[in-house]
Every structure is written in structure tokens, then in C-alpha cells.
Amino acid sequence: MAKQISDETYAAKSKIKMTTGDKILNGFFYLFITLFSIACLIPFILVVSSSLTQEQALTTYGYSLWPREFSLDAYRLVTVSSDIPQAYLVTIFITLFGTLLSMLFTCAVAYAMSVKNFKSRSALALFIYFTMLFNGGLVANYLLMTKTLMLQNTIWVLIFPAICNAWNILLMRNFFNGIPDSLAESAKIDGANDIVILFKIIIPISLPGIATIGLFYALSYWNEWYKCLLYIDSNHGQYYTLQYLIQRILRQVNYAASQPAEAVGLNSVSLPTYAYRMATIVVSTGPIILLYPFLQKYFVQGLTVGSVKG
């Protein structure tokens, strides 16, 4: 019966004819979205094209959407430098492991605040919200990390301070509130505790919210550079993240020129300093750009549901 009603509704909608004004308006919207999408792609295409252009052509003709003189010299320097691969490994590790830990803590706290019979859930929510308004400041945070927790010059200083984000916890709590209480109640009748309910019932049906918050955490860890500036000195450069190393490259234009041309088989006298910086941008942003399309459907749905329901 329900299938028949849905078929009739679809048939009725399909019979509705669009007027000429509606077609013109839709065409205008499609044209605007297409032009806007192309405008968003132009900067990235410009960066990729510049990274594939020979340095001499880049300095002579400037940046263009298509390489004037194709060259892979910049990417050869990226692969031959000992700093970039190590920074890449550090960034990948803190992104994967940090996102896993962050989602574990975030889901646990958010589930506790979404349970109706948890007496302290309002006080816990107020405490978490308070941290969004006030904090101890940079000096107190620095002393905590270096003197109390002794995390300076370790890879854990890039993960532990960012494990939980107050806004992400509240957003995840709102998503959990939209799940019917009957699911947890029926599981408790069968003898399941809160841990079993969280990992076997709540989390499997919360993939849109988890993908949304997980993407927020992954972007935060992937773009991490400020903690390297604060807590890691030059003697422990093996813990530099990719973004921090790129910051150093951008501040020092002659960084690529310090690499020996003979080591990478370059024939040009001028090393690709500008193209080298563009190549590092492509290398650092590529994985995140490729990850987003797989999470897009969960991202849009999770962000909408989690921000509306409370």
C-alpha cells in the first residue's frame, strides 16, 4: 500500500510541467553554480600548473593556468629532501591516530550527555561550554605541557592537547539526541550496558555525524603547525609536521636553493624555488582533497542533523 502511494505521488510530480520562466531561472542557477565552481578551481589549477613549470619560464612569464615549459624538477626536490618525507609521516600519524583518539573521547562524552537518566549531564554540558568562553591562556597552557606533563619535544604534544574540542562534543551530543531512546532501552532490557550500547548500537547508526566530526578533527590535525612552533625546537626536527615545514619554506625563499642540483640530476643552474613551494602545497593538500569526496554525503547530512536537533 505504501509503495503504491509513493508511486502515485512520483507519477503526479512527474506530470507537473515547468513554465518558461522556471526553465530560465533554473538555467541561470546552473550557470551561476558552474561559474562559481570554476572560479573555486582556478587557484588550485594555478598552483598545480606552477609546480609543473620550469623555474626560468615561471620567473620570465609569471604564473599561468597551463605550464609553458613542463618540468618535474620541483617534485624531484620534494622527493629527495629528507625533511619532507619525515614531516609527511609525522602528519599522517598524528592525523590518523589523533582523529581516532579524538572520536573515541568525543563519542564517549557526547553519549554520556545524551543519556536522559544521567544526573550530571547538565553540569557536564555547562562545564564543556564554559571552556569555549574562557581558557587559561598561552602561558598557562605552555607551562602545563612543558613542566607538568613533560610533553615538550615529543610527538604526543601534537596529539594530546587537541584530543577533545568543546564544539565538536556539543555537536555530537545533539546528533545523539536525535536517536530514538527506544533503541537503547530495548538493548538494556536484553542486558547490554552503556559501553555495548555505544559501540554496537549508537555508533553504527551515527555514521553521518561521526564522519562530519571526524573530518573536522582530521583537518585540524593535518593542518597542525602552531604546536610545532611552541613545543618543538630545532634539535628535534624529526617531529616537525608537514604544514610547519612548509611555513619554514615560505619564510625562507632560498630554502630550495640550498639543495644540491647534482643530487637530483637537475641541469638548470637556477633551482626551482618558486615551483618548489607550489609543489609542496600540492603534496600537502592533495590527500585531504581526495578524502573529502568520499565523506561528502555523510558530511552534509551529519552537519545538518546535528546542528538542528537538540
Beta carbons of 270 and 58 less than 8 angstroms apart: no
Confidence of residue 29 (pLDDT cuts 50, 70, 90): confident
Residues near 87 by Cβ (< 8 Å), separated by ≥ 6?
240, 241, 242, 244, 245
**Does residue 247 surpass a pLDDT of 70?**
yes
Residues 60 and 193 in one domain: no
**125-158 pLDDT, tens per residue?**
889 888 888 887 888 888 888 888 898 999 999 9
Q: Which residues of 105-129 are buried (b: 16+ CB within 10 A; e: fewer)?
A: ebbbbbbbbbeeeeeeeeeebeebe
**Does residue 305 surpass a pLDDT of 80?**
no
Q: Regarding predicted confidence, which is higher, 99 or 71? A: 99
Pick the last residue of a domain from 210, 235, 260: 235
**Which CATH number do you get for residue 158?**
1.10.3720.10
Quote the pLDDT of residue 260: 57
Residues near 101 by Cβ (< 8 Å), separated by ≥ 6?
159, 163
Domain that holds residue 29: 19-81+252-308
Number of domains comprising the chain: 2
Quote the pLDDT of residue 257: 55
Mean pLDDT of 13-28: 73
Residues 184 and 159 in one domain: yes
Q: How many CB atoms lie within 10 A of CB 155?
A: 17
Mean pLDDT of 70-86: 76
Q: Regarding predicted confidence, which is higher, 130 or 13? A: 130
Using a pLDDT cut of 90, give the percent of the chain over it.
Answer: 12
Pick the last residue of a domain from 207, 235, 263: 235
Mean pLDDT of 113-128: 87
Pairwise CA distance, residues 310 & 305, whole Å = 9
Asked whether residue 168 is assigned to any structural domain, the reply reads yes
Long-range Cβ contact pairs of 109-115 (< 8 A, separation 24 or more): 109/164, 109/169, 109/173, 110/169, 110/170, 110/172, 110/173, 110/175, 110/176, 111/176, 111/194, 111/198, 111/202, 113/169, 113/173, 114/173, 114/176, 114/177, 114/179, 115/184, 115/194
